[in-house]
Amino acid sequence: MQVQTHSQAPSQGALSAPVRPPTAPVAPALVKRLGGGGPRYTSYPTADRFVEAFDDTDYIHALRQRRTIGAQGASALSVYVHIPFCESLCYYCACNKVVTRHHERADRYLDHLAKEIELQTAHLGRQQAVSQLHLGGGSPTFLDDAQLDRLMALLQEAFVFLPEAERSIEVDPRTVDGDRLRHLAWLGFNRLSLGVQDFDARVQQAIHRAQPVAMVEKLMTEARALGFASINMDLIHGLPCQTLMSFDRTLDEVCRLRPDRIALYAYAHLPERFKAQRRISTEELPTPQARAQMLAHAIDRLGAEGYVYIGMDHFALPDDALAVAKRQGLLHRNFQGYSTQPDCDVIGLGVSAIGHVGATYSQNAKVLDDYYDHLDQGRLPIERGLALTRDDLLRRAVIMAIMCQGKVDFEAIGQAHLVNFVDRFAPELAALGPLVAQGLVKLRDHELEVTEAGWFFVRAIAMVFDRYLQADHRRGRYSQLV
């Protein structure tokens, strides 16, 4: 299907107006020096550090500990549900997914989600308060209305959703119309995340995801009329056939449609890990410098349109809850990215889902049959995880402060974790020297602060405090920093 938009009119080498250079350009030499791979730090330690020695017994212990704490007033939960199914394959995708047009396969999946919810709440306790729900995938909108009804009934029977709870769902615009949006609103969803990636026809063809601008615009108009509190748009830079000029035309459309939030992810080309990416020609990928220019231009362009740069890959309009949290220093980060929710426990449901309970992380089986087998045996499908040490908790606090606030208060961290920050992190503070010299970090006696230019490389700054990376120096398996 060809995309009919005005972005097709100009050729790859022409623009209706020149692209304005970014106000905070990234020097090519700096990109070459720091533009390697690195973690996204949706958690610390990162998920690749989870171990198989952590199993369902360890997870059950964490659930029971939380249940005991719950009697003393534990914070509300965040619940994540992974729906792995998609109708078609997007070549860039690195998510855990099952490509099928047989929607009845979701019925068996819901049967097993029901078993998992029952097992989880048997140890956690039923009717726990929930302040955040997120349906991800895959494509959660692969489920039809009856299947979504069943899923929400299962969740509402097991948990108590607070009146102000955020209920978000990832939406494939190709699978949703106005009637489906009305049904989502009726089910209580108040936030949508639309998967767009790029509006350019040539890029869409290269990644096997064609969707007209008009389709997305119609959905956004209908969603706003229905009163959804926030609409996020997912974009990706670094895709095959993207150029600074073509990406600027995509930004034209994005700014015109004006979503409340924008998630601008860097494409991670890891074909050795993700089979679908082998269909992408490496010759068609933009250079690291071109990627950096796209990111710099996007930050500059969206800022000029009134968007607040939340950090790394997130933007929001000034009155959006995410921007408000950034101003108030209340920003957080979890496995779904930046969030307004406090560092609350996360119950992960479904194949490959990751949970965070107490000082533990856990992940369900990644293969659908293994997920089913565990539950058919009456066992929680935990495949691996991690019990965090005191050092992990300390470093997590530092890394999340860098990623969310762009500032680390040495005394506050030291008091919270009973350490002398400067003594404990003397090697890391010394290692920041080159980043300070490059203007990415300001280092003072009592704090470190990420500069405006440093936000381009905030992951590189956080990596200095990652003990696991210091030990093995393995960066090739991660996405590019820019």
* Strand order from edge to edge, sheet including 407-409: 407-409, 447-450, 441-443
Residue 187 resides in a domain? yes
Residue 89 resides in a domain? yes
Residue 380 resides in a domain? no
Domain count, the chain: 2
Residue 110 resides in a domain? yes
DSSP 147-199: HHHHHHHHHHHHEEEEEEEEEEEEE-GGG--HHHHHHHHHTT--EEEEEEE--
Residues 413 and 473 in one domain: yes
Question: Whole-angstrom Cα distance, residue 316 to residue 318?
Answer: 6
Angle between helices 145-158 and 178-186 (to 10 degrees): 10
Residues 177 and 276 in one domain: yes
pLDDT of residue 27: 58
pLDDT of residue 16: 36
- Cβ 411 vs Cβ 397: under 8 Å: no
pLDDT of residue 273: 87
Helix (H, G, I), strand (E, B) or coil at 467: helix
Residue 25 resides in a domain? no
Q: Which domain holds residue 405?
A: 389-482
Residues 296 and 429 in one domain: no
Residues 235 and 330 in one domain: yes
Residues 454 and 325 in one domain: no
pLDDT of residue 38: 79
pLDDT of residue 36: 64
In a structure prediction context, what are the per-residue pLDDT tens digits for the chain, which is 482 residues long? 322 333 333 333 333 344 444 444 455 556 556 666 678 888 999 999 999 999 999 999 999 999 987 655 678 999 999 999 999 999 898 888 899 999 999 999 999 999 999 999 999 999 999 999 999 999 999 999 999 999 999 999 999 999 999 999 999 999 999 999 999 999 999 999 999 999 999 999 999 999 999 999 999 999 999 999 999 999 999 999 999 999 999 999 999 999 999 999 889 888 998 889 999 999 999 988 888 788 878 888 999 999 988 877 889 999 999 999 888 888 888 887 888 877 789 999 999 999 999 999 999 999 999 999 999 999 999 999 999 999 999 999 999 999 988 899 999 999 999 999 999 999 999 999 999 999 999 999 999 999 988 877 888 999 999 999 887 755 555 555 55
pLDDT of residue 427: 96
Exposure letters 193-218 (e unless 16+ CB within 10 A, then b)? bbbbbbbbbbbbebbebebbbebbee
pLDDT of residue 312: 74
Please say which residue of 348, 380, 401 terminates a domain: 348
Output the domain CATH number for residue 475.
Answer: 1.10.10.920
pLDDT of residue 264: 92
Q: Report which of 233, 266, 246 is spatially closest to residue 200, judged by C-alpha positions.
A: 246
Residues 330 and 475 in one domain: no
pLDDT of residue 363: 97
Residue keyed to tokens 């991800």: 136
23 DSSP assignment:
S
Residues 183 and 319 in one domain: yes
Using one digit for the tens of pLDDT, what is the confidence trace for 228-246? 999 999 999 999 999 999 9
Residues 88 and 208 in one domain: yes
Output the domain CATH number for residue 203.
Answer: 3.80.30.20
Residues 78 and 153 in one domain: yes
